[in-house]
Amino acid sequence: MDAYHLPEHERVSLKRLHKTLKVKREADKVKAVYLLGSGWAVKWTAEALDLDAQTVRQYFLDYKNQDKRIRKTGEWVKLHDTGKESSLSQDQELSQHLDGNLYQRSKR
């Protein structure tokens, strides 16, 4: 457990950062690091956040491997998922949208 210990000033910074986040996955990343740094076991942290234990460990490693300046800015927590482009044409997307949504009126 000592491998995951964080000094008090880092835990305070994480708590502050957590309060500013609006994206749940980013907030969970910060909570995972905070809880591990506070002495929680990986198993309990993963269970509390409904995450895989390996994911929790990786979040902590990501945090520890960042430069201290980046830790302070909170940039380490940002998600870099880019997704992929849609394979549907615009007509297919419109058709799919209209199939799932019923409109009572149309604008002209």
**How far is the first Cα of the chain from the last one, in angstroms, to the nearest whole number?**
65
Locate tokens 């929680």: which residue?
A: 40
Going by pLDDT thresholds of 50, 70 and 90, the confidence category of residue 46 is: very high
DSSP letters for 54-76: HHHHHHHHHHHTS-HHHHHHTGG
Residue 67 vs residue 22, higher pLDDT: 22
Q: Which of 56-60, 76-80, 82-86 has the lowest mean pLDDT?
A: 82-86
**How many other β-carbons are positioned within 10 Å of the β-carbon of residue 83?**
5
pLDDT for 65 equals 86
Of 41, 32, 31, the residue nearest 3 (C-alpha): 41
Instruction: Write down the domain spans for the chain.
Output: 2-77
**With 90 as the cut, is the pLDDT of residue 95 above it?**
no
- The CA distance from 35 to 45, in Å, is 6
